[in-house]
Amino acid sequence: MKIGLLLYEHCMPAGLMAFNDLLQASNRLSGKVLFETCLVGTSLKPVQCANQMVLTANVLLQETQLDVLLVPGMWTESPSQLPSLLAQHAKLIEQIRQLPEQTKVWSYCTGVCFLADSGRLRRQRATVTWWLANAMQKKYPNVNWLIDSDCVMTQKTATAAGVHGYLLLAQQLIEKSLSKPAFQEFIKLMVLPRPVQQHPAFRSFAFMEQADPLLRKLAAIVTQMPAEQITVQTLAGKLNLSERTLARKVNALTEMPVASYARHLKLHQVSEQLIWTSVPVNTISDELGYSNESNLRRQFKQTTRLSPVQYRKKFGRS
């Protein structure tokens, strides 16, 4: 299988390099060349990637026969930036559109935007990073968006959410190509974790997933505050905003009231403790500043429909 790793201005290249390493490791483990990779681009000139990395494509995209094209994501902090970014890469998007029908197109994180804009996701099942979900559903209604899925693979396309989505794509590809014993050995050798399951209620609440600067600041504040001291008035004061302005901005970004969003952020902290530690629920309640354990349990079950004990049993990694 020949896979093209796409380079373009300001793309995030780390995922491409890691994806390539995983495929080369599977080649060595199998004792044969299962995968052949190459760096492709719209030109053979050096490409200024993210984080000041400069790379050069080996071959031109329009002149290379590929089984799969992998499109990495690009750094962007808001859906409002997408129109200008897509316009900047119009030539690339047109070349993706013109790829032969038999060439599969795969992407992860914000790179999914290129596939959608090229029309290659039309009438296909796909997913995308959560903070782009609303914008993508509105802009590309002819795509069958499965936003609650971390990775979606079809006969023609594959999409994954998050900056580490390439890992999900690589694992699924390699698992299909190796025998079960060989794949298990591969997982051990590469020390790959199994993907962490996450309850849909908390999919968009991890600090590193907060796309907007205001949401990141809000998350940082809520994380440090005892649960029972979190009020809209307090949050607005710490952010130097009026309550009305904070409410308007948070609702515009999340479609949730501030109080509800903050409560979910705090409960996300609870969920992380349940997943990664064996700390008793009453200790978690005390450490995170809930008035009592019963209050934590009630809020948690209202949000997840699971008790903390049931949640830990289902999602726990400790």
* Span 177-223, pLDDT tens digits: 888 777 877 776 776 655 556 777 877 665 445 567 888 889 889 98
Residue 125 confidence (pLDDT): 96
Confidence of residue 254 (pLDDT cuts 50, 70, 90): confident
In the predicted structure, residue 167 carries a pLDDT above the cut 80 = yes
Average pLDDT score over residue span 128-155: 90
Q: Which residues pair with 157 in a beta bridge?
A: 105
Q: What amino acid occupies position 109?
A: C
- 172: CB partners within 8 A, 6+ apart: 151, 153, 158
Which of 24-28, 179-183, 254-258, 285-289 has the highest mean predicted lDDT (pLDDT)?
A: 285-289
Q: Across the chain, what does the average pLDDT equal?
A: 89
In the predicted structure, residue 288 carries a pLDDT above the cut 90 = yes
Q: What amino acid occupies position 127?
A: T
Q: What amino acid occupies position 2?
A: K
Sheet holding 104-108, edge to edge: 59-60, 36-41, 2-6, 68-71, 104-108, 157-160, 151-153
Could you give the CA distance from residue 278 to residue 292 in angstroms, rounded to a whole number? 19
Residue 210 confidence (pLDDT): 58
* Cα dihedral 153/159/165/167 (nearest 10): 30
Half-sphere exposure of residue 308, counting CA atoms within 13 Å on the CB side? 26
Which of 156-160, 206-210, 313-317 has the highest mean predicted lDDT (pLDDT)?
A: 156-160
Residue 208 confidence (pLDDT): 43
- 302: CB partners within 8 A, 6+ apart: none
Average pLDDT score over residue span 264-272: 92
Structure-block tokens of residue 115? 């596939």
Nearest to 112, CA basis, from 87, 130, 99, 91: 130
Could you give the CA distance from residue 72 to residue 140 in angstroms, rounded to a whole number? 19
Structure-block tokens of residue 173? 């590809």
Structure-block tokens of residue 205? 């609440």
Nearest to 280, CA basis, from 293, 267, 269: 293
Condensed to tens digits (0 to 9), the pLDDT of residues 49-87 reads 988 899 999 999 999 999 999 999 998 877 888 889 999
Residue 213 confidence (pLDDT): 83
Q: 239 with 217: CB under 8 angstroms?
A: yes
Confidence of residue 16 (pLDDT cuts 50, 70, 90): very high
- 98: CB partners within 8 A, 6+ apart: 62
| CA-to-CA separations, 86 to 49, 113, 155, in angstroms, rounded | 16, 8, 25
Residue ranges and CATH numbers for the domains of the chain are: 2-190 (3.40.50.880), 200-315 (1.10.10.60)
- 44: CB partners within 8 A, 6+ apart: 56, 57, 59, 60
- 180: CB partners within 8 A, 6+ apart: none
Could you give the CA distance from residue 126 to residue 143 in angstroms, rounded to a whole number? 7
How far from chain centre, in Å, is Cα 219?
18
Residue 196 confidence (pLDDT): 59
Three-state secondary-structure class, residue 136:
helix
Q: Which residues of 272-290 are buried (b: 16+ CB within 10 A; e: fewer)?
A: ebbbeeeeebeebbeebbb
Could you give the CA distance from residue 107 to residue 127 in angstroms, rounded to a whole number? 10
Strands (DSSP E) contained in the chain are 2-6, 36-41, 47-48, 54-55, 59-60, 68-71, 104-108, 125-126, 144-145, 151-153, 157-160
Q: What amino acid occupies position 7?
A: L
Structure-block tokens of residue 6? 């796409």
